[in-house]
Amino acid sequence: MGARRHPLYGIVFLMPVTLKNQVVLVVGASSGIGRETAVLFAREGARVMAAARRENRLRDLQSSLAQEGFAIQISSADASDVSAMEALAQKTRSLLGEIDILVYAAGTNIPDRTMKHLNAPHWDMMIDVNLNGAFYITRAVLPAMRERGSGHLIYIASISGQTPDVSGAAYQASKRGMLGLAHAIRVEEKENGIRTSVVCPGLVDTEILEKRPVKPPPEMLAKALRPEDVAEAVLFVAKVPPRAAVPEMAIVPTYI
């Protein structure tokens, strides 16, 4: 559904695309932005697969949505493992059908993030989770989307991928890399009916902040975005009509 004619006035209204019965795979759905995204998509009637490593958190999400009357699928998977991402795409297809929307919300950071302390294993882990995982799952879902001539890839990057800050070289390199990944895919795949969007949040009050060298004080957290704010942005991006695309979107707290 892209546009609808008013019965009396004949005016064409732009209507958001319905997400009902769309198959949505959310990677990084056990907490924060990914979790809230899975919640909002489920409430829209989408058929959701929620994935991350912490199975207990995924089960909590599944039962809390079940109490609202929404059934979702869950799968424990490590995004930094290429074969786990291939298996996740396959499992989603066999349980729910062809994947319409991928949301990559997995991400992490480390307290020892300055160049003085950053070592090679930490660098590799950061790039693996924040960037390579996005590539692995994209590669696993793209061929079927290409064949069907439709699909939407939505990546959660960060304003740290747009503007230099103190989030660390590995984090910023991975997030800038994600912007590059998303924009490159968009240029190559738009002719195949595949849309690609990258959402860049500012400060969001989620568990990732526990990994900062110093957690933001309560007065700053009070002004931060909440994960459901970013989830609403993802929902908006997913609902624009197929003729429209949102290549890149920032969402920041009002104080910025």
- Of 33 and 46, which has the nearer Cβ to ligand NAP? 33
Cα–Cα dist 100/243, whole Å:
16
- Choices 5-13, 91-99, 114-122, 206-214 (CB under 6 A): range interacting with ligand NAP: 206-214
- DSSP letters spanning 12-56: EEE-PPP-TT-EEEEES-SSHHHHHHHHHHHHTT-EEEEEES-HH
Under the binding rule (CB under 6 A), the answer on residue 32 touching ligand NAP is yes
Residue type, 99: I
- What tokens does 216 get? 């933001």
Enumerate residues 95-154 that contact ligand NAP by CB under 6 A: 105-108, 129
Across the beta sheet with 23-27, the strand order is: 73-76, 47-52, 23-27, 101-104, 151-156, 194-201, 248-251
For this structure, is 9 an active site residue?
no
Residues forming a β-bridge with 74: 50
Shortest distance in whole angstroms from residue 171 CB to ligand NAP: 7
Under the binding rule (CB under 6 A), the answer on residue 204 touching ligand NAP is yes
- Of 19 and 131, which has the nearer Cβ to ligand NAP? 131
Tell which one of 22, 37, 80, 197 touches ligand NAP (CB under 6 A).
80
Catalytic option among 9, 136, 171, 255: 171
Helix (H) / strand (E) element for 251: namely strand 248-251
Tell which one of 57, 113, 152, 186 touches ligand NAP (CB under 6 A).
57
- DSSP letters spanning 191-219: GGTEEEEEEEE--B-SGGGGGSSSPPPHH
Under the binding rule (CB under 6 A), the answer on residue 197 touching ligand NAP is no
Shortest distance in whole angstroms from residue 87 CB to ligand NAP: 13
Under the binding rule (CB under 6 A), the answer on residue 231 touching ligand NAP is no
Contact residues toward ligand NAP (CB under 6 A) are 28-34, 52-54, 57, 78-80, 105-108, 129, 156, 158, 201, 203-204, 206-209, 227
List, by residue number, the catalytic residues: 171
